[in-house]
Amino acid sequence: MQKLNFLLIFILFTSCSLISEEKSADSQIEIIEENDKVFIQDRTGKKWDVTSAIEKYEMKADKFQFGLGTDAIPPVINPRILKDGEAGYPSNSDESLILGVTMSKDARAYSKNQLSRREVVNERFSTKTVAVAY
């Protein structure tokens, strides 16, 4: 079995996140109840089933927001791997935060600064294709 030494986050993004207090006026959501299920509808018309969140975790349908929406931030696809000495390779004195993943005997390092701009890297480790997310 392959060993994953450092797990960043491998998550299916749903662009739906919970907010704690108030919503701004421009983030109004439509709440739809159908067949014992509760849905919220985003500004694109997509319906999201929030029944489990309401029943199991006592969340409130009107406290969800949709952020930027699905596919709003494009992923990095097949990133270029820099080698020591190449332009852009960090120096030994660089104090940037780096997140690392080792999988299938392949290792990758990602700059936190770069990940904060793109959030997802579609990456290949040997024969496995994974989404590395921050």
How do residues 77-122 score in pLDDT, each as one tens digit? 878 888 888 988 888 888 888 888 888 888 888 888 888 888 889 9
Q: What is the pLDDT of residues 5-53, one digit of tens each?
A: 222 223 222 233 333 333 444 456 789 999 999 999 887 788 899 999 9
What is the pTM assigned to this prediction? 0.49
Whether residue 104 lies inside any domain: the answer is: yes
How many domains is the chain built from? 2
If asked whether residues 59 and 95 sit together in one domain, one would say: no
Q: Identify the domain containing residue 46 by its residue range.
A: 30-64
If asked whether residues 90 and 128 sit together in one domain, one would say: yes
Whether residue 22 lies inside any domain: the answer is: no
The mean per-residue pLDDT over the stretch 57-74 comes to 82
If asked whether residues 83 and 118 sit together in one domain, one would say: yes
> Of the residues 64, 88, 112, which one is the last residue of a structural domain?
64
Three-state secondary structure readout of the chain? CCCCCCCCCCCCCCCCEECCCCCCHHHCCEEEEECCEEEEECCCCCEEECHHHHHHHCCCHHHEECCCCCCCCCCEECCCCCCCCCCCCCCCCCCCCEEEEEECCEEEEEEHHHHHHHCEEEEEECCEEEEEEC
